[in-house]
Every structure is written in C-alpha cells, then in structure tokens.
Amino acid sequence: MAEPTMRAVVMAEPGPPEVLRIEARPRPIPGPHEVRVRVAASGLNRADLLQRRGRYPAPPGVPADILGLEYSGVVDAVGERVGQWSPGDRVMGLVGGGGYAEAVVVHEDEVLPIPDVVETVDGAALPEAFLTAWDAMDLQMGLAAGETVLIHAVGSGVGTAAVQLASLTGARVLGTSRTPEKLRRATDLGLDEAIPGGGAAWAEVVMERTGGRGVDVIVDLVGG
C-alpha cells in the first residue's frame, strides 16, 4: 500500500519567495506522546522570512526544508500514551519547523487549546507574537493598570500584539516607530502616544509626555 502523503510548502534552497514549492511529503505519524494536527493556518513572522533567506537555520532534528514555526488546526490523531488531547480538539502552538504543511506532529505537552472565542485560523497568529508580548509585559514585568509602558518598534509583529494587550490591561501606552503608517495603525490598536523613532529624540519626547516621570516598563522590539 502506498505511504500516506500530505502537501507541504518546501524550500529547495534559501532565497526569495519564489524558492517555495508545494510538494508531496510523507504524512507524519505521531509517536506515543505526540499528537498530529491537521493544520488550518501557519503564522508568518519575521523569523519565517529570515529562515527562508537562510539567516535563521532550523534547530537540529527539525526538517530544514519545510518552514513554518507556528500553527493552528485540529487534532486528527493521537499517540497511544496521550491522555490530554482527542481527535477534534482545536489547538495551536510553536514548532521548530514544519508548520507550512497539511499536518504537523507535536509533543502533547507543547500544544495549546484555542480559546472558544478565537476562530481556528486566527489561533495561528497568537503563540509567537501575543505570547511573547504577554510574557515580556505581564510575566516578566507585571505591567498593571494605571502604569505606563513604552514599546519600541510598536509597529512590529510583537509590538502590535503588545499594544493591544497593554491597552486592555489599562496601561498608558507610548510607542516608537520610524514609520508613520505603523504609528497610525498602532494608534488604531490602542496606542496613546505615538513617538517617531529611529533617533535619539524619542527619550526627550517620552520625558515630556510623562511630565518628567518616565515610564514603568519598556519593551524593546527593534529587530529584524
């Protein structure tokens, strides 16, 4: 009997988007503690673009030719020792690679449930950007209502998540960007004070807009 296959977006060599091809690959089979997820969507972050250009190699043990670091979908098979997930569960998560495929196999402890209020496809946009922002501001810094946070590169992927979470927390949100359009979009997402970045003047602007007090938390997302 022919081996079951799936379609995957495969990168033959690093380069521009044109290096990507859809090819058939063996459909992965979950091990005893793994689940297989039928992928609904794969998130696209700066890290994906760096990986496609060959500037962010896949970690050992991960297929280097199938990109994709973030997925959402529905569990369609579970290993014999898996107790916490069942076929049909809506899940999301991060992987070292392989997300641009019809199926991924993941350890059962590395899978997250998609909240009821979130569409399955939208779940693929949560783990990388929103959990990174939440980890930085909430877990690491304990940002609280009434505090002030400064987000550098507020128009970045993680920044656009951070501004929404900080705004929902009840914090006053200041953000920098070199790009006026990104500041406009961040303002739509909850940014209170848009500060043109890229030079040294932002520090003076921050002091001026906080009456000389400064901020409680800084999240620096300049990168790429």
Ligand X SMILES: NC(=O)c1ccc[n+]([C@@H]2O[C@H](COP(=O)([O-])OP(=O)(O)OC[C@H]3O[C@@H](n4cnc5c(N)ncnc54)[C@H](OP(=O)(O)O)[C@@H]3O)[C@@H](O)[C@H]2O)c1
**Residue among 51, 72, 156, 164 that touches ligand X (CB under 6 A):** 156
**Distances in Å between the alpha carbon of 18 and those of 12, 32, 56, 170?**
10, 37, 18, 44
From the CB of residue 184, how many other CB atoms can be counted at a distance below 10 Å? 13
Contact residue for ligand X among 92, 106, 150, 158 (CB under 6 A): 158
The residue range among 5-13, 32-40, 82-90, 153-161 that interacts with ligand X, by the rule CB under 6 A, is 153-161
Q: Should residue 210 be labelled a site residue for ligand X when binding is judged by CB under 6 A? A: no
Nearest residue (CB) to ligand X, 46 versus 209: 46
Query: Can you tell me whether residue 18 is helix, strand or coil?
Result: helix
For residues 41-80, which are near ligand X according to CB under 6 A? 45-46
As a whole number of angstroms, the distance between CA 171 and CA 147 comes to 5
Report the distance separating Cα 3 and Cα 103, nearest Å. 15
Asked if residue 182 binds ligand X (CB under 6 A), the reply is yes
Residue placing its CB nearer to ligand X in the complex, 11 or 195 = 195
Using CB under 6 A as the binding rule, whether residue 126 contacts ligand X is answered as no
Stretch of 2-10, 138-146, 150-158, 209-217 lying at the interface with ligand X (CB under 6 A): 150-158
Q: In the set 132, 162, 165, 194, which binds ligand X (CB under 6 A)?
A: 132
Contact indicator for 173, 141 with CB cutoff of 8 Å: no
Task: Give the chain's largest Cα–Cα span.
Answer: 73
83's tokens: 């107790």
∠ Cα 157 206 208 (to 5°):
155
Stretch that binds ligand X, among 6-14, 29-37, 64-72, 149-157 (CB under 6 A): 149-157
185 touches ligand X by CB under 6 A:
no
As given in the structure block, the two tokens for residue 60 are 């050992």
Size of the site for ligand X (CB under 6 A): 19
Task: Establish if 222 lies at the interface with ligand X (CB under 6 A).
Answer: yes
Q: Which stretch binds ligand X (CB under 6 A): 16-24, 85-93, 166-174, 178-186?
A: 178-186
Give the chain's length.
Answer: 224
- Helix then strand then coil, % of the chain, to nearest 5: 30, 30, 45
The binding site for ligand X (CB under 6 A) comprises 45-46, 128, 132, 153, 155-158, 177-179, 182, 197-198, 221-224
